[in-house]
Amino acid sequence: MRSAIEAIAFDAYGTLFNVHPVVTLCDRRFPGNGDRLRRRWRAKQLEYSWLRSLSGRYEDSWKVTESALLSACRTLGLACPTALRVELMDAYLHLDVFHDVKPALSRLSRYKLVVLSNGSLAMLRAAVENAGLGEPLRT
């Protein structure tokens, strides 16, 4: 009997990919301010995404994420020189998956498995490839 399910879509960040290393990096680079920076950065990512969508001014998620980082740093009075900004942004391209992701994807391999996310295609492709998920997942 054929299953009615043909494809399964997964959210990327927080579902497949563990973003905690970004939190850890913020803590290391901004001791005592890492958690505040992370929370402010994430809030600005969402705010900027929503505002740009509502106003019809789409902007790539990578650019939104970078703008949100710079805004969060300015608001908190934290210096974020180019090298540090690049390091923090790059962390989103090299995220580990949660421990149960690869076994789950393996068990679901008979379906078409895709990522559905507001992350940019370049961000998602890099994260998928760097995590070794290029075979089971399509972005």
Residue 35 lies in a domain: yes
Q: What is the pLDDT of residues 36-86, one digit of tens each?
A: 999 999 999 999 999 998 999 989 899 999 999 999 999 999 999 999 999
The answer to whether residues 118 and 62 belong to one domain is: no
Could you tell me if residue 110 is left (phi over 0), alpha (psi between -120 and 50 degrees) or otherwise beta? alpha
Q: How many CB atoms lie within 10 A of CB 38?
A: 21
Sign of the dihedral defined by the CA atoms of residues 94, 18, 133, 99, in that order: positive
Q: Tell me what pLDDT residue 138 has.
A: 66
The answer to whether residues 81 and 100 belong to one domain is: no
Q: Which domain holds residue 4?
A: 1-18+95-139
Three-state SS at 135: coil
Q: Tell me what pLDDT residue 135 has.
A: 80
pLDDT band, very low/low/confident/very high, at 15 (cuts 50, 70, 90): very high
The answer to whether residues 135 and 106 belong to one domain is: yes
Three-state SS at 87: helix
The answer to whether residues 57 and 79 belong to one domain is: yes
Q: pLDDT above 90 covers what percent of the chain?
A: 73
Residue 23 lies in a domain: no
Closest CA to 85 of 63, 72, 66: 66
- Residues designated catalytic: 11
